[in-house]
Chains A and B, each alone.
Chain A
Amino acid sequence: MSATNSDDWLYTISSKNKLIDINFKEIWRYRDLLLLFVKRDIVTVYKQTILGPLWYVIQPLFTSVIFTLVFNNLGSISTGGVPPFLFNLAGITAWNYFNACLTGTSDTFKQNAGIFGKVYFPRVIMPMSVTISNLLKFFIQLFIFAGFYIYYYSSGAEVAVNSNVLLFPVYVIMMALLGLGAGMILSSMTTKYRDMTVVIGFAVSLLMYMSAVPYPLSEARKKFPTLVADFVEYNPVTQIIEGFRYMLLSTGSFSWSGFFYTLVFSMVLFLVGIVVFNRTEKTFIDTV
């Protein structure tokens, strides 16, 4: 080796923060780790349980039954001709994925302080693995939904899939980006201010009621005060859930403006999340 060329450094460890500092090459190099984390999450959650992965299915089914009893039987909310149970199951399935991504990533730093404090790997791997392993859970729940869908369809319920179903992958990506983005922003807050953990706990369950999960958006417009109805309508999660039900059950409404609004919103939120996450990952270990 001859003269040291001062430019051929592989990388630099410094305090300087670039706004967006994602090393995609590095993330790619750690892809095996990402897959192993996904595998770990899936394999270990229900080890030493009797029902195992069945728990993935039981939770949304029971919630749908309760929602149907409370909101549709007791509260007589109209679901526009769609069997209420199926209506709720669709909403809950979509909501669950968003919820799992959000809460799963929101305590990334706190949860993994042990590992993060000892070894370096691109921190984004952690929230990414949560999003991917939850995707599997989402598909299992979707499979169950399909089962009930076929049952109701064959017994003559007014449900129909429409051409919007082609947008399904986009909806899944939007949900992931929204959950991941919000989760990453929150994760950097929970690191320093533990109050946030408590806030997230109930805020998320309240958000569900503001995201048109147990009722159609049209009902909200009819019965809520304008301010609340507007909030529900401009809530991107509402747009996703409404769009999800529209494509699978042909109920509710769909608009391209709403679709693009949600798409832009989730991409922006995701980018903000990445920036915030990047700033936090460098020094969180001092404040966790």
Chain B
Amino acid sequence: MSNNNKDIILVAENISKQYRLGVVGTGTLSHDLNRWWHRVRGKEDPFLKVGEVNDRSTSGSSDYAWALRDINFEVQRGEVLGIIGKNGAGKSTLLKILSRVTSPTTGEIKTKGRIASLLEVGTGFHPELTGRENIYLNGAILGMSKAEIKAKEEEIIEFSGCQRYVDTPVKRYSSGMRVRLAFAVAAHLEPDILVIDEVLAVGDAEFQKKAIGKMQDISKGEGRTVLFVSHNMAAVKSLCTRAIVLENGVSVFEGDTDAAVDFYLHNEKLLIKSKLLELTDRIGSGKVLFSKFEILNIENKILSAAMSGEYIKLRVHFHAHEVVQLKNCRISISVKKDERDYIVLSSELVLNYNLNLTNSEKVDFILEKFPLSKGLYKIELFLESEREIIDWIKNASDLHVENGDFYGIGKSYPKGWEGKTVLVENKIEVS
């Protein structure tokens, strides 16, 4: 091997995974028989050839789809590798393969260390058993030996903060306590390679802080190899040293975390492609029409999604067949969700002079710290001149917002707040 001075602990080669779509029911048996008949004759599985790129929104012609296609990567000892991608990009499938829950259709993963996976906290908790008994059971399921658990028992109980209830059956626990206990067990796991899904978003704020702190200890202080799967960009940025971006089951980017997060947000395919001129559901005289809506970052690079807490420009372009001068304009952009306005940006509120526009100009609305939480929002555009409505599109475009580190302390808001919260800068003083 050429990489002499690297200490590779895990290698994934050509990992692909195929799934059968639709209901597993009638036809399953006939496909199975067909498969078996091909195998008996030493031929290739007839259903492996079909299947196209896994794009949820376009319906394919075949019953089979590739959730992952030819994924290759290497992980070095002590590295924290982030795996990012939108829903359905294949993150969870890759996790399942890594944690040996299911096996790949083709390809192989070779590892030099024991892998422990945390796809969920509290796997195998039995409600009738006491907290202490469940620590042992859960620990053993995750791959610890009895002696290892015994050595850490007190530490785990203390970390969970459930000292008073350890000898009570878990069914009497509140859901929060159950999660704390489960996370406490998981946090004391010491495998060579730890595979973590987004289990961070559990428990109350105080416990989350504790959990993230522990995560950082694991990855930084203790030098453990970690594979971290998430679409929480803030967490990825603060924890990972390197990241892979998955898209429709294919690895589209591999590199350092910041570059990967940038790539993920700039992803061409996800760019807003709405052709505003084609929209017919609009009101106004139509002298000038909105022709384009874009999101840009500080370097004027076009983004596919905005990120909480980042510098964002919302840009609109206009169109008319000839040069048109508009005087005394009022232009506004509203960001809406569920028929509710979250942000209304209006020129007359910001400017103390009359805005005059020509259709060759573009207008940028600049938000130095984008205040919305993760979610899918709608954009409404409005333009009037001399109190006459020129163009008004109530549903002009979608706006994706991704998790970001608004408060600059390396964590984002709890999951339940997503899409429901406007973030405001504030200070706290204790006197």
**A residues adjacent to B (C-beta < 8 A):** 1-4, 6, 8-16, 29-30, 32-33, 35-37, 40, 43-44, 47-48, 114-121, 192-193, 282-283, 285-287
Contact = CB atoms under 8 A, between A and B. Distances in A.
Contacts of B110: 9, 11-13
Contacts of A121: 141, 143
B91 to A, nearest CB: 15
A9 B114 CA distance: 11
Nearest to A33: B140
Contacts of B325: none
Contacts of B123: 114-115, 118-119
A2 B7 CA distance: 8
B3 interface: yes
B117 interface: yes
Interface stretch (B93-101, B239-247, B312-320): B93-101
A3 B4 CA distance: 5
B4 A287 contact: no
A56 B73 CA distance: 54
A3 B1 contact: yes
23 contacts: A1-B7, A1-B77, A2-B5, A4-B8, A10-B113, A13-B97, A13-B109, A14-B108, A32-B140, A32-B146, A36-B136, A36-B140, A37-B137, A44-B128, A44-B129, A115-B141, A117-B101, A118-B117, A118-B119, A119-B120, A120-B117, A192-B24, A286-B20
A115 B119 CA distance: 10
Given A9-B110, A11-B110, 19 more contacts: A2-B4, A3-B4, A4-B3, A4-B4, A12-B108, A12-B110, A13-B100, A13-B104, A13-B110, A14-B103, A15-B108, A32-B140, A33-B141, A44-B129, A119-B119, A121-B141, A121-B143, A193-B28, A285-B102
Q: Give 4 closest A-B pairs by Cβ, nearest first.
A: A14-B108, A120-B100, A33-B140, A32-B146
Contacts of A119: 99, 101, 117, 119-120, 123-124, 141-142
A121 to B, nearest CB: 6
Contacts of B146: 32, 35-36
Contacts of A12: 108-111
B7 A10 contact: no
Contacts of B141: 33, 115, 119, 121
Q: Which of A4, A8, A30, A193 has the most CB of B within 10 A?
A: A4
A283 B111 CA distance: 20
Contacts of B113: 10
Nearest to A112: B124
B129 A43 contact: yes
B340 interface: no
A148 to B, nearest CB: 32
Contacts of B120: 118-119
B109 A14 contact: yes
A283 B142 CA distance: 20
A12 B117 CA distance: 16
A191 to B, nearest CB: 10
Contacts of B101: 116-120, 285
B105 interface: yes
A36 to B, nearest CB: 5
Nearest to B74: A4
A11 B111 CA distance: 6
Interface string B24-41: 100011001000000000
Nearest to B100: A120
A282 B137 contact: no
A29 B103 CA distance: 22
Contacts of B49: none
B417 interface: no
A118 B284 CA distance: 55
B129 A15 contact: no
A58 to B, nearest CB: 21
